[in-house]
Structure formats: structure tokens, C-alpha cells
């Protein structure tokens, strides 16, 4: 498992989803370099976070097969660039990942997506479900997904990008009876599991924030390398949480909801670590 040594608090920081570390790296660091990276940079930086070289190359091969990575040699440097479809798919999650998800207003209504996609297009049907789920939509019945109304535009973009406009309908809806709201929420989302994920993020990364806050502006190559690992691990752990979070009205979430606090912690971690992390990663690109 990708991990780093114990920090001063005794808490060990690990990658929650090691298989996604490369995608997190591509979406954050490679996009920041015009969507291109040397092969050597990808492999070396992934080895730094605990993956082994053969595994990284196998991940790269799978992403090539998916059409995400395209070979792109620049001068004598072999590299890869992100395809247009990969860049677009990564960009879909930006708003969710990089800021706390504000709670929706109950009075704004709900975005409702209904769809009926033929079996001949089952791959697109799967993509529609998974990409809407990644935006926080919950399934409340066959071919029926719901989220706060503010997600309607994002849902339309997904439907259009998959060429399924003739197979899906989008509405802004209102739930007629207050008691039905809680029933729909229970059917659409596993909020207990999500809240437990937020609580775990707080437990694991509050000590990381304290450690870096205590260091102030001290600067060294070693600290930058450590910040790269901590930043990528924090992103890897965090990114799946807002993707599962529909941003429901606060009064529907019950007591003890940790989402807002966890989101604020992630924002502070980004401020503490991102500049150092990007500075370290940039040393692997040619000047």
C-alpha cells in the first residue's frame, strides 16, 4: 500500500485508493503542465508515493487502451499527453473536488433525470449512470436519478456529451410532501457511509494540517517532496467524498454531519501543500 512514514503526531497517512493515484496525479499535475508529462516523470513521482515501476507502467498501458493517454515525444523526451476526452472528464469533477460542497436550499427544488437507453447502447447507459452518480445524483428507481436542482446544468452536459439527449429527459421537480423527502433521501444515498468517510478524513488529516502549520514557511527540497506525497494522498482520500455527496439541504442531514468541517479542512490543506507539491513535481519536467 502507498504510504509515508508516521508524522510527528503518530498518525500514518496513506493512499485511500492506490489504484486511483495515477489518475489523481494526471488530473492535478499533468493538466497543470499543458496536459503533457515525460514518461520518466510519471513513473518517478508515482514511485515516490509507494507504487512500483511495473505497476505504474501497467496503469499507463490501461489508460492508453481507454484513450486517455496519447504518446507524445517532444524532442528526445518520450511522454504522454492527456486526450481531449480525458481532460473533459477530469474537468467535470473540478468544482466538486476543489471547494466544500455548499448545502442546497430545499426551496430550490430537485433536478430529476429519467432515461431509457436501448441495450445496443448499454455502455453509454453505464457511463450515464456512473457520471451522474459522480455528480451526486442518487438513484430512486429504474432509470430515475435525483439531485438538488443546481445540478441540472451539469446533468445536461453529461447527457449531451454522451449523445443521449433523445433518450433522457431532465426536469426541475418538487417533492409534494415533507415526509417524502426523507424517504427519497434514504433510497437515493447512503449518507451514514458518507458521513463516516468525512469523519475518517478529519481524523487522518487534521494532524497533517497541524504538522504543516507548525512548519510555517520553512523551505527545502525534502519538505517539498513530503508535501507532494501528503497533497496527493489527501486528494486521493478526499476526491471520492464530494463525488458521493449530493449537497443536500442541511436540515435533511441530521445531527453530527461532518461534511462541511471536512471540506473546510481540505481547503486549508490545499493552501498549505499545493505550492510546495507543484514545485517538487515540476523538477521532473524538462526546463
CATH code where residue 126 lies: 3.30.70
Residue 179 domain flag = no
Q: Do residues 48 and 124 share a domain?
A: no
Same domain, 205 and 237: yes
Q: Is residue 156 part of a domain?
A: yes
**Which residues on adjacent β-strands are paired with residue 172?**
111
Q: What's the rounded Cα separation, in Å, for the pair 284 and 55?
A: 19
Q: Determine the straight-line distance between the first and last CA of the chain, rounded to whole angstroms.
A: 32
Using CA atoms, how far residue 224 sits from 6, 28, 262, 275, in Å, is: 17, 16, 24, 9
Per-residue pLDDT 10s for the chain (287 aa) are: 454 444 444 345 667 777 799 999 999 999 999 999 999 999 999 999 999 999 999 999 999 999 999 999 999 999 999 999 999 988 877 877 886 667 788 788 999 999 999 999 999 999 999 999 988 899 999 999 999 998 999 899 999 999 999 999 999 998 877 668 888 888 999 999 999 999 999 999 999 999 999 999 999 999 999 999 999 999 999 998 988 888 888 888 878 999 999 999 999 999 999 999 999 999 999 98
Domain holding 46: CATH number? Answer: 1.10.10.10
pLDDT at 59: 94
User: Alpha-carbon distance 281 to 200, whole Å?
Assistant: 27
C-alpha cell at 284: 521532473
Same domain, 81 and 118: no
Structural domain ending residue among the three candidates 63, 92, 121 = 92
Q: Domain range holding 208?
A: 190-282
pLDDT of residue 213: 96
Count Cβ atoms below 10 Å from residue 42 Cβ, excluding itself: 23
Clarify whether residues 198 and 257 are in a common domain. yes
Residue 101 lies inside a defined structural domain of this protein: no
Q: Are residues 246 and 165 in the same domain?
A: no
C-alpha cell recorded at residue 243: 463525488
For residue 185, which phi and psi values (nearest 5 degrees)? -60, -40
**88 in a domain, yes or no?**
yes
Let me know whether 31 and 87 are in one domain: yes
Q: Which of 92, 125, 144 is the last residue of a domain?
A: 92
CA distance 127 to 163: 11
Q: What is the domain count for the chain?
A: 3
d(CA 280, CA 285): 10
92: CB partners within 8 A, 6+ apart: 131, 134, 135, 154, 157, 158
Does some domain include residue 1?
no
DSSP label of 74: B
- What local confidence, expressed as pLDDT, does residue 78 receive? 97
With cell 489504484, the residue in question is 19
Give the pLDDT confidence score for residue 135 in this predicted structure: 85
**Which of 92, 120, 135 corresponds to the end of one domain?**
92
Amino acid at each position: 500500500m502507498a504510504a509515508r512514514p508516521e508524522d510527528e503526531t503518530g498518525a500514518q497517512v496513506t493512499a485511500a485508493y492506490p489504484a486511483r493515484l495515477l489518475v489523481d496525479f494526471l488530473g492535478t499535475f499533468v493538466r497543470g503542465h499543458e496536459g503533457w508529462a515525460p514518461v520518466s516523470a510519471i513513473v518517478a513521482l508515482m514511485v515516490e508515493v509507494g507504487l512500483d515501476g511495473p505497476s505504474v507502467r501497467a496503469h499507463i498501458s490501461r489508460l492508453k487502451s481507454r484513450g486517455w493517454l496519447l504518446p507524445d515525444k517532444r524532442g528526445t523526451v518520450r511522454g504522454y499527453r492527456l486526450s481531449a476526452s480525458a481532460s473533459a472528464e477530469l474537468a467535470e469533477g473540478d468544482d466538486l473536488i476543489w471547494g466544500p460542497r455548499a448545502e442546497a436550499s430545499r426551496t430550490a427544488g430537485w433536478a430529476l433525470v429519467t432515461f431509457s437507453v436501448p441495450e445496443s447502447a448499454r455502455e453509454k447507459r453505464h457511463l450515464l449512470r456512473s457520471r451522474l452518480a459522480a455528480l451526486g445524483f442518487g438513484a430512486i428507481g429504474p432509470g430515475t436519478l435525483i439531485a438538488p436542482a443546481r445540478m441540472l446544468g451539469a446533468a445536461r452536459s453529461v447527457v449531451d456529451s454522451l449523445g443521449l439527449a433523445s433518450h433522457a429527459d431532465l426536469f426541475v421537480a418538487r417533492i409534494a410532501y415533507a415526509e417524502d423527502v426523507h424517504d427519497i433521501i434514504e433510497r437515493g444515498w447512503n449518507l451514514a457511509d458518507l458521513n463516516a468517510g468525512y469523519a475518517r478524513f478529519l481524523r487522518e488529516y487534521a494532524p497533517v494540517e497541524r504538522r504543516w502549520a507548525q512548519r510555517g514557511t520553512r523551505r527545502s527540497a525534502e519538505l517539498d517532496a513530503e508535501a507532494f506525497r501528503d497533497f496527493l494522498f489527501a486528494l486521493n482520500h478526499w476526491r471520492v467524498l464530494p463525488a458521493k455527496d449530493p449537497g443536500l439541504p442541511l436540515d435533511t442531514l441530521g445531527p453530527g454531519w461532518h461534511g462541511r468541517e471536512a471540506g473546510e479542512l481540505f481547503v486549508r490543506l490545499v493552501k498549505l501543500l499545493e505550492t510546495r507539491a507543484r514545485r517538487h513535481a515540476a523538477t521532473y519536467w524538462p526546463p
